[in-house]
A and B are shown apart, each in its own frame.
Chain A
Amino acid sequence: MYAEQKTHLLKALAKNVRYDGRKPLEYREITVEYGISGSAEGSARVKLGGTEVIAGVKMEISKPYPDSPDKGNMMVNAELLPLSNPEFESGPPGEQATELARVVDRAIRESKCIDVHKLVITLGEKVWGINIDICTINDEGNLLDASSLAVLAALKNARLPKLNENSEIQYDVPLTDQKLPLSREPVEVTVIKVGDHFFVDPLSEEEKLIEARLTVAITEKGTICAMQKGGAEPLSSEDIDKMIEIAQKLAPTLRKAL
């Protein structure tokens, strides 16, 4: 259905020109704002060009999982809000929202970004639970990278609430100065493949024509801590190698914006 449009995009990519004049491996302007929701224990707003995403952190006291009495809990939830894109419908998260949440979750969880061992209040009984919610505000392409950056920024912005003697959260007093125990700071770079060309940070116009994509989470040490392939077309091992290299090269650009 999109054959002619894809040919047209390839013509531009062959000249290293994107639909908004950027080079293929160039991100749009990135801005990060911290603490945009006073009701959350941590929050951030990320703008990638015109794409805007908000992430919020809410803490709770919960029971640890039976097989990990010495670890706190964390969960990432994403909502593709209908206000951000005319094609998004209200209702429970669909495929796209679920994938977004899980890809961002994977990077945070598997990188041991949050040192969950430090979230124990009473061993085996009471631990901190970290709830991260992603809300999309305006979709002009690349919600994934924007969401991942917003979540990391919100985690960095988060402070622990005060507990009373019964280890219950006191909501009517200011938060403590204590930050979350973060030991890694992964950022995610999604690399797109169309024809023989690779590029990053797609516009909505370009996103429609994606053949395959690889989201790579890179830690501040340059190591890979999570990956997700998407799109209907297959990737060769050379492709994957190239795409990882691109992600490693561009991760610092995202990290610099924090």
Chain B
Amino acid sequence: MQRRNNGGKMTEEIITKDKEIAVPGEIIATGMSFLPGKGAYRESDKIVAQRLGMVSVEGKVIKLIPLSGRYLPKLKDRVIGRVIDVLMTGWRLEVNSPYSAVMTLKDATSEFIPRGADLTQYYRLGDYVVCQVVNVTSQKLVDVSMKGPGLRKLRGGRIVEVTPQKVPRIIGKDGSMVSMVKQATNCNIVVGQNGLIWIDGEPENEVIAVKSVKKIEEEAHLSGLTDRMAEWLQKETGVKVNPAATPPPAEEQTTTEHPHHFGGSQ
């Protein structure tokens, strides 16, 4: 990317354009009117990339959308966790993060758990559950709860792992992408914000659902993905899916945020 030499005068210029990939240290724009958003920083008159990511220019704000990175637990996130320890007062869960989460007795279920009860009657080592992050301290101690709609133990099925940054794309606007996959494969699918996805259905259909999710992950940053997926799903399953399909009831959705729009048009 060449900088236009204006005889030393400061130029307001975007060098790495919107939707292009930038690497750490790369100059994205010059000029004092620009503001560095997440993933970018200012160095004198330059806006510089602070990570490998896709440039997003919204007005004067320049952000870098991450393409990879491990999951850090965030308040209200619905995640899939795996029980790794049964404690005196609850359970410890692995949530695909550098930080494990704890679920206390009172957060585990709306049933009353008597003191001294055998906690493995409720959740045992290796169990997968859908839970919600209810607290994260500055030292990254994480609390999760299973009291809430849609939060439950997952029985059977398979767990697939994807890059957490691609989860919004896999869910789609109002859940439209994942519901296309569900429709075509007739599988139950729960997508955790932490990049773990639970899939349960007939074996052949599960294979297609897994391939779908991996395909969306790989092509998340390319445009026209929704239509491409609809076409691909029809080819694989014979089921015609409508990209603008009605999303499933709110309880099945596992995002409360507006997803990143990779690739522009849906």
A238 interface hit (Cβ, 8 Å): no
Q: Are B204 and A1 in contact (CB under 8 A)?
A: no
Q: How far is the CB of A207 from chain B (nearest CB, A)?
A: 14
Q: Are B155 and A12 in contact (CB under 8 A)?
A: no
Nearest B residue to A205 via CB reads B158
With the chains together, A2 CA to B125 CA distance in Å?
A: 9
B126 interface hit (Cβ, 8 Å): yes
User: Which residue, of A4, A17, A205, has the highest number of chain B Cβ atoms within 10 A?
Assistant: A4
Q: How far is the CB of B124 from chain A (nearest CB, A)?
A: 7
Name the A residues within 8 Å of B200 (CB-CB): 8
A19 interface hit (Cβ, 8 Å): yes
Contact residues of B with A, CB < 8 Å? Answer: 124-126, 155-158, 200, 202-204, 206-207, 210-211
Name the B residues within 8 Å of A12 (CB-CB): 203, 206
Q: Are B203 and A17 in contact (CB under 8 A)?
A: yes
**Residues 9-54 (chain A) with a chain B CB within 8 angstroms:** 11-12, 15, 17, 19-21
A7 interface hit (Cβ, 8 Å): yes
Q: Are B207 and A20 in contact (CB under 8 A)?
A: yes
Contact residues of A with B, CB < 8 Å? Answer: 1-2, 4-5, 7-8, 11-12, 15, 17, 19-21, 205
Name the B residues within 8 Å of A2 (CB-CB): 126
With the chains together, A8 CA to B211 CA distance in Å?
A: 18
Nearest A residue to B156 via CB reads A8
Contact of B158 among A1, A15, A19, A21 (CB under 8 A): A19
Q: Are A15 and B125 in contact (CB under 8 A)?
A: no
Q: How far is the CB of A108 from chain B (nearest CB, A)?
A: 36
Q: How far is the CB of A202 from chain B (nearest CB, A)?
A: 14
Name the A residues within 8 Å of B203 (CB-CB): 11-12, 15, 17
8 contacts between A and B (CB under 8 A): A1-B126, A2-B126, A8-B158, A8-B200, A15-B204, A19-B210, A20-B207, A21-B211
Nearest B residue to A20 via CB reads B207
Name the B residues within 8 Å of A11 (CB-CB): 203
**Tally of contacts, chain A with chain B, CB under 8 A:** 32
With the chains together, A17 CA to B125 CA distance in Å?
A: 27
Name the A residues within 8 Å of B206 (CB-CB): 12, 19
Q: Are A4 and B155 in contact (CB under 8 A)?
A: yes
With the chains together, A11 CA to B125 CA distance in Å?
A: 22
Nearest A residue to B211 via CB reads A21
Q: Are B155 and A21 in contact (CB under 8 A)?
A: no
With the chains together, A5 CA to B200 CA distance in Å?
A: 11
Beyond known contacts A8-B157, A15-B203: 19 more, CB 8 A cutoff: A1-B124, A1-B126, A2-B126, A4-B155, A7-B156, A8-B156, A8-B158, A11-B203, A12-B203, A12-B206, A15-B202, A15-B204, A17-B204, A19-B158, A19-B206, A19-B207, A20-B210, A21-B211, A205-B158
Nearest B residue to A21 via CB reads B207
Q: How far is the CB of B250 from chain A (nearest CB, A)?
A: 28
Contact of A1 among B125, B157, B207 (CB under 8 A): B125
Name the A residues within 8 Å of B124 (CB-CB): 1
With the chains together, A21 CA to B126 CA distance in Å?
A: 25
Name the B residues within 8 Å of A19 (CB-CB): 158, 206-207, 210
Name the A residues within 8 Å of B158 (CB-CB): 5, 8, 19, 205
Contact of A4 among B156, B202, B204, B210 (CB under 8 A): B156
Name the B residues within 8 Å of A4 (CB-CB): 155-156
With the chains together, A12 CA to B158 CA distance in Å?
A: 11
Q: How far is the CB of B91 from chain A (nearest CB, A)?
A: 14
Name the B residues within 8 Å of A17 (CB-CB): 203-204, 207
Name the A residues within 8 Å of B204 (CB-CB): 15, 17, 21
With the chains together, A21 CA to B237 CA distance in Å?
A: 14
Nearest B residue to A208 via CB reads B126
Name the A residues within 8 Å of B156 (CB-CB): 4, 7-8
Nearest A residue to B160 via CB reads A205
Nearest A residue to B126 via CB reads A1
With the chains together, A7 CA to B200 CA distance in Å?
A: 12
Nearest A residue to B155 via CB reads A4
With the chains together, A1 CA to B155 CA distance in Å?
A: 13
Name the B residues within 8 Å of A205 (CB-CB): 158
**A-B pairs, 5 with minimum CB distance:** A12-B203, A1-B126, A17-B203, A21-B207, A8-B156
With the chains together, A46 CA to B203 CA distance in Å?
A: 29
Q: How far is the CB of A21 from chain B (nearest CB, A)?
A: 4
